[in-house]
Amino acid sequence: MTAFPPDNAVSMNTREAQDSRCRSIRVLQVTSVYYPELRYGGPPLKIHLLSRGLREAGFSVSVLTFHSEKPWFSGRAVFDGISVQYMPWVGRGFQQWPLRRDLLSAAIDHADIVHCYGLYNLLCPLAAQHARNLKKPYLLEPLGMYRPRVRSILTKKLYNRFFTSWMARHASVIVASSPAEQIDLRPLEANGTMLAVRRNGIDMVSFRNLPRPESFRFSHGLRPNDRIILYLGRISPIKNLEQLIRAFHIAGCRDSVLLLAGPSLEPGYEAKIRALIKSLDLQESVRLIGPLYDQDKLAALAAADLFVLPSLSESFGNAAAEAVAAGVPVLLTDTCGIAAIIHRRAGLALPLGEASIARGLQIMMSPERAQYLHGQQQVLHELAWDEPVQQTAGLYECILRERSNALTGIRV
């Protein structure tokens, strides 16, 4: 059961509140899943932190979303001063059909600008349609989902043909979180819609006082000399965990344990992972330890000797950014959007492949890794939320200014 904490505003190191014009801008964030439902990966927290930063920069920010555990719920909640309106829905999993269109219409009517996140849900297309009907500009941020890579590829292609292409054609801006995702989204530029790159950030405050690593080691029955290779994220095919496990087996890292921490929303894939671990006789050195949140996650990072992110694709890679914030060296595949920021500065980025990842594990678990960690502090500076918040604020202001000028007949 997801625990929904009370409203307790947490300060961020963002710029001072904007002028009165900025304060009057009302932003509606539309997403099928939102904080604190963290078992769905990084996007719920990323959208919340961005929203919190915008609020502290003077914007009026609200959220329209689903409650995954209470499909009938149509109430409100407040998190860090951000008002969240839940829409009831019917369906199964992420095949959610929104009910109470009046709530959707009212939320959009109250907003000056709408920001839609993610694909392969029906909430964003409906929000885009309502925004267009009400003559409100909207942004589309696909969250790395545009190019189908695993599972239901044909269905995703059909969705992109009938929904994504329409949303992109009428969006004011399409937002990519890395240059790599920008390349994936290039086909959507065909109708003249602008693509903007705005990276994600991390909340540095959370990593200032990490728990003692001994507590995590004790709670998971690890020996003092065990070196911890940590993966944090969903247990999902897109995360490429089978290749990681085989690479760990090939690398033969002595006195090392590979901990796979994260929620499993696909029982069939978890069973496949467990079968692979057993077939390689790695039950003692490779463990699935379930999801870790808040202090438990920080304790795991405090204890880790290496963080790994072997994904087939990541539009950014927030978990790797959090590892850098915790001072943990990172090994990741170059298919992650954040790879260029981390490579040879706070870790090592390598191509996909068991042999490649195995070699990376050998390097990053040896003294040789020191040569790849000379830029950690600069990387930290580049990963703060200040710049993404300012960029997003600038996008909103530019869109609304151009729209105002167009309505009054002034050319820009």
120-134 pLDDT per residue, tens: 999 999 999 999 999
Backbone angles phi, psi at 92, to 5 degrees: -150, 135
Please give the pLDDT value at position 15: 42
Burial class from Cβ neighbours inside 10 Å (0-12, 13-18, 19+) for residue 5 reads exposed
Tens digit of pLDDT for each residue in 229-241?
999 999 999 999 9
Task: Give me the pLDDT at residue 409, please.
Answer: 65
Q: Are strands 60-65 and 26-30 parallel, antiparallel or unpaired?
A: parallel
* CB distance 11 to 56 below 8 Å: yes
DSSP one-letter string for 352-380: SSHHHHHHHHHHHTSGGGGGG-TTHHHHH
CB 338, CB 311: distance < 8 Å: no
pLDDT < 70 regions, the chain: 1-23, 93-94, 409-412
Cis before 351? omega within 30: no
Please, are residues 374 and 114 in contact by the beta-carbon 8 Å criterion?
no
DSSP alpha helices (H): ranges in 203-342?
A: 213-219, 241-251, 267-279, 294-303, 318-325, 339-342
Neighbour-count burial for 221-244, b at 16+ CB within 10 Å, e otherwise: ebeeebebbbbbbbbbbbbbbbbb
> From CA 369, how far away is CA 348, in angstroms rounded?
8
Q: What is the pLDDT of residue 405?
A: 80
Determine phi and psi for 130, rounding to 5 degrees.
-65, -40
CA distances, 132 to each of 113, 117, 250, 297 (Å): 11, 16, 54, 41
Which amino acid is residue 156, in one-letter code? K
Tokens encoding 306: 């290496």
Q: 42: which DSSP letter?
A: S
Alpha-carbon distance values, 30 to 130, 203, 207, 317 (Å): 12, 22, 28, 21
- 286 and 226 in contact (C-beta within 8 Å)? no
Rounded Cα distance between 373 and 343, Å, is 9
Residues 196/160/121/236 CA torsion (nearest 10 deg):
-90
- Whether 20-201+385-408 shares its CATH topology with 204-382 is answered yes
Q: Is residue 317 within 8 Å of residue 339, measured between CB atoms?
A: yes
CA–CA separation, 374 and 346 (whole Å): 7
Architecture of domain 20-201+385-408: 3-Layer(aba) Sandwich (3.40)
For the chain, the domains span 20-201+385-408, 204-382
Q: What's the rounded Cα separation, in Å, for the pair 132 and 112?
A: 12
Single-letter amino acid, residue 328: V
Q: Quote the tokens at residue 77.
A: 């909640």
Cα separation of 4 and 73, whole Å?
A: 14
Over residues 148-190, the pLDDT tens digits come to 877 778 888 999 999 999 999 999 999 999 998 999 999 988 7
Q: What is the pLDDT of residue 34?
A: 96
- The C-alpha atoms of residue 377 and residue 325 are separated, in whole angstroms, by 9
Q: What is 204-382's CATH number, 3.20.20.140, 3.40.50.2000, 3.40.228.10, 3.40.50.720?
A: 3.40.50.2000
